[in-house]
Amino acid sequence: MTFDPQTAMDDPTLKNINFTQAYLRTQIGKKVKIDFLIGTNLFIDKEGILLEVGVSYIVIRETTSNAKVMCDFYSIRFVTIFE
């Protein structure tokens, strides 16, 4: 099985802004703070510039280290978007 980028881009979760992934794609380039739930009661947050949004992941450039961090979409609980 091979990966077809065009098929991935046709996924409605990336195009229809009624889906969180598609809405976040409209915010690429903005500063965000993302709160993640790890396990049952541990919250951590990451802050940076939103670079990419996929079906099951996002990529941010952290403000503190300038490193790219890929994050699991399904552990995200809150996203703060700075204008």
pLDDT digits (tens, 9 = 90+) for 7-42: 556 788 898 989 999 999 999 999 999 999 999 999
pLDDT digits (tens, 9 = 90+) for 35-76: 999 999 999 999 999 999 999 999 999 999 999 999 999 999
Per the CB < 8 A criterion, the answer to whether 17 and 31 are in contact is: no
Question: CA 55 to CA 22: how far, in whole Å?
Answer: 9
The alpha carbon dihedral of 38, 49, 80, 72 has a sign of negative
Amino acid at 68: K
Pairing of strands 42-53, 57-62: antiparallel
For the whole prediction, is pTM greater than 0.75? yes
The residue that leads in pLDDT, 2 or 82, is 82
